[in-house]
Amino acid sequence: MEAPAVAVRGLVKRYGEVEAVRGIDLEVARGETFGFLGPNGAGKSTTINILCTLTEPTAGEARVVGLDAVRDRAAVRRRIGLVFQDPTLDAPMSGEQNLRFHQELYGVDRRRAPARREEVLRTVGLWERRADPVSTYSGGMRRRLEIARGLLHSPQVLFLDEPTIGLDPQTRSSIWAYLAELHRHAEREEDRITVFVTTHYMDEAEHCDRIAIMNEGRIVALDTPDALKAQVGADRVVITTEDDEAALRSLRAEFGLEGAVREGAVSVAVPDGAGFVPRLFGRLGVGIRSVTVTRPSLDDVFLAHTGTTIRDAEAGAGPSMHPMAARMRGR
């Protein structure tokens, strides 16, 4: 049987007194897009650095496509692509020169190299700009070039650490469109690349097949985005009516539901919001002006598992709580 793309058992990483990763277990299948979610300082970057052979774990085991990230360092590196949180491009060189440099560094077949460069540059939409110095690229273009470079040596696993940080929403969604493109391109099953991505944007995690939520060095939840949201439970149906008091009474009598009036609207929690709306219209008996159905978001999931919103968690975690961030800044 083929080894999983990523297998982590009992992983611990300590920086002096600080325990950045506190014993995590994780398995990512081949071809999966796996999201690693959590606030800054949750231990995401440390975990990804261990998997990329850049940091050695204090305890536990990390395997990438069946190879040990500590003992088979070079072998792991040949099989993975990396896109770091901080840019790692050479600005005076052109986009294509950066890619050629990478190919030489990884020793890929010279005869196939130009075709492969063209392929990845077209995938990320930078073929027309290939001869321009990277210094003339926008932030989003640089990110795309880094993703192209990460794919250049046909890695089995592509690791991306916060690939969309600091980018505007439009560029962020285009980056995700390119990542989705990767899976569509692979025609054969064995060519399907595994994408392992960390983010602290909740909306981005929706693009993943499965996500792990990490908080304070531990994985607190791991499942598909839908399953995680289903665990949190109910949809929220918010209606504005002609008579809120009558609507509340009717909800209790007809459906056995306890509604609440908030900001001039009646709000009620139901398991299947979309299916509930037609019945609501049929039996409420009070004029309805508008209906909004809200599905639970991953923010709700994060809140349910950690007792805090991701934004508050970030505000609480200062630089001192995040040894990796401090180290990176020092570079």
Partner 1 sequence: MTSTLPTEAVRVPESSLATEARAAAVVWEREMIRFVKDRARILSSLAQPLLFLFVLGSGLGSLLSSGQGTGSVRFETFLFPGVMAISVLFTAAFAGISIVWDREFGFLREMLVAPVSTASILVGKALGGATVATLQCLVLLALAGLVGVPYDPLMLLAMVGLIFLMGFMITALGLVLAARVRQVQSAMPLVQLVITPLMFLSGALFPLSGLPTWLAVLTHINPMTYAVEPLRSIVFDHLDVDAATRARFDPGIVWGSWTVPVALQVVLTAAFSLAMLGLAVWRFRRTE
Q: Which of 106/201 has CB closer to partner 1? A: 106
Q: Which of 119/314 has CB closer to partner 1? A: 119
Residue 115 in the binding site for partner 1 (CB under 8 A): yes
- 13 vs 157: CA distance, rounded Å: 22
Residue 196 in the binding site for partner 1 (CB under 8 A): no
Residue 87 in the binding site for partner 1 (CB under 8 A): yes
The answer to whether residues 85 and 165 touch, using CB atoms and an 8 Å cutoff, is yes
Residue 180 in the binding site for partner 1 (CB under 8 A): no
The answer to whether residues 20 and 46 touch, using CB atoms and an 8 Å cutoff, is yes
Q: Which of 256, 264, 282, 330 binds partner 1 (CB under 8 A)?
A: 330
Residue 229 in the binding site for partner 1 (CB under 8 A): no
Tokens 């990767």 sit on residue: 182
Minimum distance from CB of 87 to partner 1 (Å)? Answer: 5
What is the token pair recorded at 283?
């039996």
Burial 231-258 (b: 16+ CB within 10 A, else e): ebebbebbbbbeebeebbebbeeebebe
Residue 11 CB burial class (10 angstroms; 0-12, 13-18, ≥19): buried
- In sequence order, what are the residues at sequence separation of 6 or more whose Cβ sits closer than 8 angstroms to the Cβ of residue 115? none
Other beta carbons within 10 angstroms of residue 217's beta carbon come to 23
The region of 116-124, 257-265, 273-281, 292-300 touching partner 1 under the rule CB under 8 A is 116-124
DSSP codes joined into one string, 72-111: THHHHHHHEEEE-SS----TTSBHHHHHHHHHHHTT--TT
Q: Which of 98/174 has CB closer to partner 1? A: 98
Q: Which of 58, 97, 267, 297 binds partner 1 (CB under 8 A)?
A: 97
Residue 255 in the binding site for partner 1 (CB under 8 A): no
- Site track 29-68 with partner 1 (rule: CB under 8 A), x = hit: -----------------------xxx--------------
Residue 89 CB burial class (10 angstroms; 0-12, 13-18, ≥19): middle
The region of 105-113, 225-233, 234-242, 301-309 touching partner 1 under the rule CB under 8 A is 105-113
Residue 92 in the binding site for partner 1 (CB under 8 A): yes
Q: Which residues sit at the interface with partner 1, rule CB under 8 A?
A: 52-54, 74-75, 77-79, 82, 84, 86-93, 97, 100-102, 104-109, 112-113, 115-116, 118-119, 122, 149, 152-154, 185-187, 191, 330-331
